[in-house]
Amino acid sequence: MRKKLIAAGLAAILLVAMAAGGAAQPVRRGGWVDRILISEIRDMAGAVTRLEAGDIDLYVTTIGTADLYRRIAASPALAYDRNFGSFWELTFNVAGPVLPDGTLNPFHSDRIREAMNWLVDRDHIVREAHGGLAVPRYFPIQNAFPDYARLLADVARRLERHYAHNPTQARTVVTEEMRRLGAELVGGRWQFQGRPVRLIVLIRTEDERRQIGDYFAGLLEGLGFTVERRYGTGGELAPIWQGRPEDGRWHAVTAGWISTVIVRDQAANFTFFYTPASTMVNPLWQAYRPSPEFAALADRLSRRDFTTVAERTQMFSQALEHALRMSPRIFLTERATVTARRKEVRVAADLAGGTAGAFLWAHALRLGDQVGGTARVASSQVLVQPWNPVAGSNWIFDMTPIRATSDWPTVPDPHTGLPWPQRLERAEVTHKRGLPVSRTHDWVSLDFADEIRVPADAWIDWDPVAQRFITVGTKHPAGLTANTRVVLRYPRELFETTWHDGSRFSIGDMVLPLIMTFDRANPASAIHDPAAVSAFRTFQGHFRGARIVSRDPLVIEWYTDQWFLDAETVASDAAWWMWPYYAQGPGAWHTVAMGIRAQAERRLAFSLALATTLRVEWMNMIAGPSLNVFRRSLPIMAREFWVPYEPTLREFIPHADATRRWHNLVNWF
C-alpha cells in the first residue's frame, strides 16, 4: 500500500505544478481544476463502485467487459465515453531456435508463429472473453480507421478468410516445423534432446487477457507442448519480456496496445510492429529479422515512398501478407470500450484513445461548472516504468499523467484525428505537383510546385565531433530537391511561456531535439545508442533539410520527401520534429542535458536497450536510483552553466539563459 501511495503522490505533485501555474493568472488559463490526484485502483469493478460512491471523479482505464458496461450505463450517477482504439494481441519471443541454455524456442520459426493465426479462434475470444464488445483483428492496422476501409474489399477480407480458424492446418505446420527443428513427439508431448519442450506464457491479469492467456496456453498444451503459466500485471511482467529475449525467460505474452488518436495514415505501422527501426527501442524489437523484401517495403511505406493511392494500396497489400507470414505477434481482437466518470464531470475523450489517451484530458477536465478544485482520478496502474522523454516508458498508464504536464505544437481532433494548431499559429504546405494530398482546415494552406529546391543553408546532417550541423550546400554542392516544403509560423508570444521550474521556453529547447535525432544514431557520438540507428535511417531516408528563417516571430522551414494524404498531418509532422516533446514526453534543454551527461558518462541510459547492454540503470527522471546520479551531477553542471552541444547551441542559448535555467532546476530539484 505504501508503494501505491508514494506513486500516486509523485503523479499528483507533477500535475499540481501544471495546474497551479494556470490558476495564478488573472484570467483562467491552463486547466480548469487546481489539482489532479491520481491513485491506483486495479479492480475495475471496485473502481466503478468508488465512482458511484463519489470517492473518485474519473476512472481513466478503458473498460471492456459486458457486465461492467451494463452497470455503468444503468447507473444514474455515472456517465461514460465510448472509444475504439485498444486491441489485444499475442507477442512471441523470436530468439533461437536453440537458446544459450540449450532449450528449444519453437517461436523462433516464422512458420510456427504464422500457424498461431490458424490455431486461435478469434470469434470464440470475442464471444467468451469480451462478451461481444470486440471484433476479430488480424492486422497491424485498426479496423475502425480509414486504411482498413480502403483495403477492405479486395485485400483484408481475402487475408481474413485465409487465416481464419483452422486448427488442423495449425497442427500440420507445427508438426512439420518441430521435426525440422530436431524435436520429437513422444507420448503426445514434444521433446528436444530428451527434455520436454517447455513454453512460458506470461498472462496479464488486469482484464480479459487473463482468460485469453489461459485459452491460448490450453491450445498449446493440446499441440503437445508443456506450458508454464505465469500471471501478473503489466508492470510485473514487463521486466521479463522486455529483457534480453535470448535469456529464454518467456515465450509468449498476452499483450495489448491503445492507439490514442485516430490515425488517418497507418503506413508506418509495419516499421513499428515488425522491424528494429521501430521507436520501441528495447531488446525484443532489436531481435526482429524481417525478410529483406519486407524490411524494404516497411521502410518505403514509413517514408511514404509512393506517388499514387493505387501504388500505396498495392504496397499495403504486400506488407499485410508479409506481416502475417512473419507474425512476431498475432493480433486477436479490437475492443469496444468505455471510460467511466461521474455524471457532473466534464473531460476530453478521444474516440480512439478514450480519456487516458486524449492529449487534452487534463486541460479540459472540469468538475461541473466549478472553476478550480481538486479532481480525483484513478487508473488501473500508475508509474509502471521509468520516465524520461527520450526513450522512457510508453505505457498508456504513464502517458496519461505525462501528457497532463505537456504542451505541443498541434493536437489531434478527438473525433477525426486531423491536427489542430496548439502552439503553432499556421503552416504553409507545398507539395511536388501530382501527389494526392488534400486540405480540410484553413489553418494550413496547400499548393503545388513542379520543383521544390532546398536552400543551401538548410541543415541536413550533423557532425558529432565538431558538434555542428552540416548544411545542404556542403553535403550536396550540386543542389537538392524535395517532395515537400512546410513553412511553420509560430505566434509572437511563444517564448513568453514557461517550463515547470519557471524557466522561460526558448528556441534552444526546439533545436536540441533535432540534434538528438542525429547524435544518438552516430557511432562517433558520446551518447550513441545502436537501438536508435534503424529508426534514424528511416528518418534520414526522407529528411531533406531544415532552417530557421526568423526568430521573432519564429518561422521554420522543413523539407522532406515524406508526405501524408492530409496537409494538416504533413504540417503537424514537420512541427513535431523540432519541438521539445521527444518520443516519450516533454523535455526542456537543461533537463534533457542532465540525461545526456549521465549517458555520456555511462552511468545511466535513455533507452532500455542501451541500459541492458551497458548494465546500467534505465534512466528515470522522477524516481529511483537515477535521482542519486542527478543529485551528484546537478550541482557540477549548475556551477559550469553547462550547455550540451555548445558549438551549436550557444547561438540559441545565451549565457544568462543558461545561468537562469540551472538556478531554476537546482531549486526545483
CB 354 within 8 A of CB 83: yes
Give span(s): CATH 3.10.105.10, the chain.
92-108+139-328
Sort strands 35-40 and 374-379 into parallel, antiparallel or unpaired.
Answer: parallel
Cα angle at 505 between 502 and 511, to 5 degrees? Answer: 140
Topology of domain 92-108+139-328, per CATH?
Dipeptide-binding Protein; domain 3 (3.10.105)
Mean pLDDT, rounded, for 309-322: 93
- The predicted-structure confidence for 6-47, as pLDDT tens digits, reads as follows 233 333 333 333 333 333 444 777 889 999 999 999 999 999
Beta strands in 458-577 (DSSP E): 459-463, 468-471, 484-489, 543-551, 554-560
Question: With 60 as the cut, is the pLDDT of residue 335 above it?
Answer: yes
Distance (Å) of CA 659 to CA 91, 545, 664:
48, 31, 9
Measure CA of the first residue to CA of the last residue in the chain; give whole Å.
Answer: 26
Question: What type of residue is 666?
Answer: V
- The predicted-structure confidence for 98-135, as pLDDT tens digits, reads as follows 999 999 999 999 999 999 999 999 999 999 999 999 99
The Cα–Cα gap between 502 and 667 comes to 10
CB 437 within 8 A of CB 431: yes
What 8-state DSSP symbol labels residue 154? I
Mean pLDDT, rounded, for 277-287: 88
Distance (Å) of CA 188 to CA 293, 415, 522, 639:
38, 52, 52, 70
What is the pTM assigned to this prediction? 0.85
Question: With 80 as the cut, is the pLDDT of residue 173 above it?
Answer: yes
pLDDT of residue 8: 31
Question: With 70 as the cut, is the pLDDT of residue 645 above it?
Answer: yes
pLDDT of residue 15: 35
Question: Which band of pLDDT confidence, cut at 50, 70 and 90, is reported for residue 146?
Answer: confident
Distance (Å) of CA 631 to CA 37, 309, 457, 623:
27, 54, 40, 12
- Between these two residues, 554 and 259, which has the higher pLDDT value? 554
- Between these two residues, 221 and 6, which has the higher pLDDT value? 221
- The predicted-structure confidence for 599-615, as pLDDT tens digits, reads as follows 999 999 999 999 999 99
Where is 591: in which H helix or E strand? helix 589-600
Question: Which band of pLDDT confidence, cut at 50, 70 and 90, is reported for residue 279?
Answer: confident
Question: Which band of pLDDT confidence, cut at 50, 70 and 90, is reported for residue 321?
Answer: very high
Distance (Å) of CA 511 to CA 468, 581, 650, 651, 657:
12, 12, 11, 10, 15
Decide: helix, strand or coil at residue 490.
coil
- The predicted-structure confidence for 504-518, as pLDDT tens digits, reads as follows 999 999 999 999 999
The Cα–Cα gap between 350 and 360 comes to 9
Where is 335: in which H helix or E strand? strand 329-335
The Cα–Cα gap between 532 and 610 comes to 10
What 8-state DSSP symbol labels residue 453? B
The Cα–Cα gap between 285 and 255 comes to 14
Sort strands 468-471 and 410-412 into parallel, antiparallel or unpaired.
Answer: unpaired
pLDDT of residue 144: 86
What 8-state DSSP symbol labels residue 601? T
Mean pLDDT, rounded, for 144-148: 87
The Cα–Cα gap between 365 and 138 comes to 35
pLDDT of residue 669: 86
Is residue 374 classed exposed, middle or buried when 0-12, 13-18 and 19+ CB atoms within 10 A define those classes?
middle
In the block, which residue shows the cell 494524404?
A: 565
Lowest mean pLDDT among 140-149, 156-165, 580-589, 622-631: 140-149
- Between these two residues, 330 and 5, which has the higher pLDDT value? 330
- The predicted-structure confidence for 481-531, as pLDDT tens digits, reads as follows 999 999 999 999 999 999 999 999 999 999 999 999 999 999 999 999 999
Mean pLDDT, rounded, for 60-71: 93
The Cα–Cα gap between 26 and 312 comes to 52
Cell of 358: 486524449
Question: What type of residue is 11?
Answer: A
Question: With 90 as the cut, is the pLDDT of residue 60 above it?
Answer: yes
pLDDT of residue 150: 78
- The predicted-structure confidence for 412-444, as pLDDT tens digits, reads as follows 999 999 999 999 999 999 999 999 999 999 999
Query: Can you say how many angstroms the Cα of residue 83 is from the centroid of all Cα atoms in its chain?
Result: 18
Question: Which band of pLDDT confidence, cut at 50, 70 and 90, is reported for residue 619?
Answer: very high
Cα angle at 74 between 69 and 78, to 5 degrees? Answer: 85
The Cα–Cα gap between 3 and 6 comes to 5
Average pLDDT over the chain reads 93
Question: With 50 as the cut, is the pLDDT of residue 621 above it?
Answer: yes
Query: Which own/partner contact pairs does 632-638 have at CB distance under 8 Å and 24+ positions apart?
Result: 633/594, 633/597, 633/598, 634/594, 634/665, 634/666, 634/669, 635/666, 637/593, 637/594, 637/597, 637/662, 638/662, 638/663, 638/665, 638/666
Decide: helix, strand or coil at residue 470.
strand
- The predicted-structure confidence for 202-218, as pLDDT tens digits, reads as follows 999 989 999 999 999 99
pLDDT of residue 153: 66
Mean pLDDT, rounded, for 76-93: 95
What 8-state DSSP symbol labels residue 129? T
Lowest mean pLDDT among 24-33, 74-83, 205-214, 236-245: 24-33
Q: Which residues are CB-contacts of 221 (< 8 A; sequence separation ≥ 6)?
A: 227
Question: With 80 as the cut, is the pLDDT of residue 5 above it?
Answer: no
Q: Which residues are CB-contacts of 113 (< 8 A; sequence separation ≥ 6)?
A: 92, 94, 107, 326, 327, 328, 330
Percent of the chain with pLDDT over 90: 87
The Cα–Cα gap between 272 and 299 comes to 10
